[in-house]
Chains A and B, each alone.
Chain A
Amino acid sequence: MNSFSYHRAAHPVEAVKDVNNQSDAKFVAGGTNLFDLMKLNIEKPSHLTDINRLDLGKIEVLPNNGLRLGALVTNAATAWNKDVEENYPLLSQAILAGASPQLRNMATNGGNTLQRTRCYYFYDLATPCNKREPGTGCSAINGFNRIHAILGTSETCIATHPSDMCVALMALDAKVNVTGVNGERTIDFADFHRLPGDTPHLDNHLEHGDLITSIDLPADHFKTNVAYLKLRDRQSYAFALVSVAAALKMEGNVIQDVSVALGGVAHKPWRDRQAEEQLKGQSATAAGFREFAETVLSGARGFGHNTFKIELAKRAIVRALTMALKNESTILSDLSKA
């Protein structure tokens, strides 16, 4: 780990300024991702701005009845928050499907959205990686790519965004509130993360010094008929091979509204709004769900070890939608051992 200077910020604007002062300064929140990367010499900030004392640790109901999640609220506190549990159970389920209780107690909502990929090669300085060192090449494309992306990939990078929480935020049409050098702005979650394109080193659309202050959830949005399905190599404490956040709004057996986001398959949580449009107004059937899944995955491409994800993702979508329809959750029923 490199030496770095450290400053504990007292106010968001001060924090933004502090990071902006140095080109390689970084915010630190829970540190569960950043410190690991620093110890491995993957991230080498010369300065850390500690944001943990900022007043961003609350969950509040907005005037429009939406919910604002402070950037510094921990993943655990968010998942177990009464308003979130009652009105956004999909988010609770997704968060609790991630990491371990210890990590969720440290990890913050802001940090979670900015966690970096789990690509093996990104983590190993011995191997080339365009995300870590642009221009060196992508070791995964012709290497071991079982955990890699099948959608929205580019020739330069096939990494996935590993978050569970973000998959639910994508499905729930969240917005990210940011304070930067030029003031405050709000970014739709759908426009928050990037696809790799030819800039795989960039994970999202934040500028240097942009501070996430909170994440907003719209009012009255998919309170029932939701399911988060996470498929992984062990029952807990493993990243998703494929995950699905599915939400339905039903009237009888007719689908009024639907939102489906996929995790573990792309450089960002994946959503296909056109396909969703087609599903609206239809009655809920397994065949209809499968057809929807086929559409969502129509552009998918496998790289060998991960090709199974294409069919798996389709099946996972069908299953998650079926669970949502029946209001079933695999996660919450079994939390005693999560």
Chain B
Amino acid sequence: MKTNYTGQPANRVDGSLKVTGTAKYAAEFEAEGLLFGYIINSTIAKGKIKEIDISQAMQVAGVVQIFTHENVSGLAWFNKSYKDMDSPPGDPFRPLYDHKIRYSMQPIGLVVATTFEVARFAASLIKVTYKEEKLVTNLQDNLHRSKKAPMGKVGYVQPKSRGDAESVFAKAEYKIEGEYVHAAEHHNPLEMFATTAIWEEDGKVTLYDKTQGVSNVQLYISNIFGLSLKNVRVVSPFVGGGFGSGLRPQYQVFMATLAALELRRPVRVVMTRQQMFSFGHRPGTVQRVAMSADENGKLTSIQHEAYGETSQFEDYTEIVVNWSGTMYNCENVKLKYELVKLDVATPTDMRAPGAVTSAHAFESAIDEIAYAVKIDPLEFRKINYAEDDQVEGKPYSSKELRACYDQGAAKFGWSGRSIEPRSMREGNQLIGWGMANGAWDALQMPAKAQAVLSLDGKLTVSSGTSEIGTGTYTIMTQIAAETLGMDINDVTFKLGDTLMPMAPLQGGSWTAASVGSAVKAVCEEVKAKLFKLASKTKHSPLSGAAPKELTMAEGHIFLISDPGSRLSIIEVMRLTETDSIIESGMSGPDPAAKTTHSFNSHAAVFAEVKVDEDLGTVIVTRVVCAVAAGKILNPKTAGSQILGSVVWGISKALEEETVMDNNFGRFMNHNLGEYHVAVNKDINDIDIIFVEEHDDLVNPLGIKGVGEIGIIAVAPAIANAVFHATGVRVRDLPITMDKVLQLAEEDKNQVRV
């Protein structure tokens, strides 16, 4: 028996539940008399509802009720009641609160019926008349209206400039500048947002919800509906992908709760795929980067400004330009981040929010400046390598980015690259190699967990975190089993229930570190208890042993000095007449470490593209992603995170974009036929490397989280490869054939000097 689990490629403990369809998702919980809701969304982007005529719809057999702002009352009055743990500054959107339309596809009503189909049909009979107002949704045309991004969203920090970048830039010999753009993107996890709300006789409500944070939903719902926390239970054992879209409570949970409370019946509300485009998204952003370097390739100035879109009612912020101040050694850095308010839904965190956006512009610009001084882009990065956090002036707890460079480059064969663009081809396919690097925070949040060891030697550990497909069940089970030296099959981890100890939102790549540390802490307490009990056993090999003389493995407690002297967990409990051991524990970041060190994970990405010279089509043929993220708890689940990130990065670089029609202020490609994400055929070779990185400071487990670091540098690596292939810079994502061709055409017409 092996009880050394962390670091091993353990299979997913929930794998068989998932592939056999036994794992239950929010829309799969049944209840007697269940009703079905269908959400109605606005067809205009801005104005007022003059009338909602529900008369015809109410006639449809099977329709129970139709909720609109006209007949919903009793909701909380104050803006602050609608805030959740991830709210940006501003006034949160309140569903069905008034007749105002703030963005296109805003939810404006809910039809509740005995079947989903009846509700959907009835919804088609509802006639809404509007008074339309002039709308603004075009980010690029409205940059002049930008305003400084305010503080207030959890984790947001204002960027800090240093030195005098402008005048250094003005005098510099080697310099570049460019504007980079990407449009809005929608998360589109496979599982649609859904809630099954169960009303109970005693005024309680249980919500089976798709969410990345059960506690956040509990808080939100209890505030809005004036229920005490103990009367709102939120359950979410499985989530079919989140990517940030489930950090804030989505409006279907409001709708389902409202209907269940009003009708005193169980109600299920599931969004349609189209409705998955009707709330937060990665904000479209325009960025300007200017840089200068000396003839030795040392960066002399960096200027980075970003303009992100936000809604009229909330100021969604993300950390975009700040990264540009930390990545490389440079004395003169000028950073600016502003928001443009548009008639759109408030953007929401999407996988590596801000960093992905930033890296696209900044790491492409690094490539440009490297070309300006004619230095290999990887070499250029090494020349400017920052040992310490350039903003905070603190050393990193660990930073094995150089190892990522070296191992990634070796695997990719980077040394065989000629620096000249258009220097490699196969027939009419131009081949290009590009690279980029990225960093992400290695954060830990306070989290709680509980452990119950029962007489049969089985351990159940629980924490109210969520499983968005990242492998949380598996790694927590591994940590618990290893800490207590138990067989992994004797350990069960439970999550996703507000009756469990509270955990932070599942985001920011901090779950492994936060919940994992709590799980470890609580298991250590169980262990301490077991040692105490073992020493109390009479006439046993362990009688009177001091805790420090004991250790655990293979389901046994034994003397370190004499492994033969041992008792099984079950024996210890029997001999001491202990029915069960229940421990609760908590773990949080070490505040002292934060004052002395900075904590980041890093990655270097190398990409090969083939670009058709005549047609402009781009294929990514190879990607190597080398990651430094501390100890890797499970190379299999961690590897999947990085693989998925690289796939998404390819998708982002070449395909993803939610297209806004600015006449209607409406996203038009709101389905998966026209919102393109990478498909099987778009994905070729992907190699993942986890470099060794030892870190005693970051947290007791030495881990940094791998949910986001993998995606950050992918798009710029591809964009840089496209430049290497073609000699033209496509600064707008996605890089589609029309853009490549247009720039190639313009480039041809330019006189080269």
A residues whose Cβ falls under 8 Å from a Cβ of B: 1-3, 39, 41, 118, 120-121, 123-127, 139, 142-144, 146, 231, 233-239, 241, 308, 311-312, 315-316, 318-319, 334, 337-338
Contacts and interface: CB of A to CB of B under 8 A. Distances in A.
Given A234-B655, A308-B738, A316 B615 contact: yes
A195 B740 CA distance: 31
Given A144-B659, A241-B737, A124 B666 contact: yes
A316 B742 CA distance: 15
B592 to A, nearest CB: 50
Given A120-B674, A124-B668, A126-B666, A236 B120 contact: no
Interface string B668-690: 11110110101111100000000
Nearest to A316: B615
B738 A312 contact: yes
B681 A143 contact: no
Interface string B12-50: 000000000000000000000000000000011000000
Contacts, number: 96
A118 B673 contact: yes
B463 to A, nearest CB: 39
Contact of A231 (B124, B615, B742, B745): B615
A233 B739 CA distance: 12
B692 interface: no
B669 A231 contact: no
A121 B663 CA distance: 12
Contacts of A231: 615, 617, 737
Given A126-B43, A144-B661, A338 B681 contact: yes
B664 interface: yes
B615 A139 contact: no
Interface of B: 43-44, 104, 117, 120-121, 124, 614-617, 619, 654-655, 659-661, 663-664, 666, 668-671, 673-674, 676, 678-682, 734, 736-738, 741-742, 745
A336 to B, nearest CB: 10
Contacts of A234: 654-655, 676, 678-679, 681-682
B101 to A, nearest CB: 12
Q: Taking chain A's interface residues, is the majority helix, strand, or loop, or is none over half, making it mixed?
A: loop
A148 to B, nearest CB: 12
A236 B663 contact: no
Contacts of A2: 121, 124
7 contacts: A2-B121, A118-B673, A143-B663, A144-B659, A234-B655, A234-B679, A312-B741
A235 B620 CA distance: 11
A329 to B, nearest CB: 15
A2 B654 CA distance: 39
A99 to B, nearest CB: 10
A39 B272 CA distance: 11
B557 to A, nearest CB: 53
A3 B43 CA distance: 24
A318 B679 CA distance: 28
Contacts of B674: 118, 120
Given A120-B674, A144-B659, A127 B666 contact: yes
A319 B614 contact: yes
A232 to B, nearest CB: 9
Contacts of B104: 126
Contacts of A127: 661, 664, 666, 668
A319 B615 contact: yes
A265 to B, nearest CB: 14
B664 A237 contact: no
A1 B121 contact: yes
B273 to A, nearest CB: 11
A268 B678 CA distance: 28
A125 B43 contact: yes
Contacts of B745: 311
Contacts of B736: 233
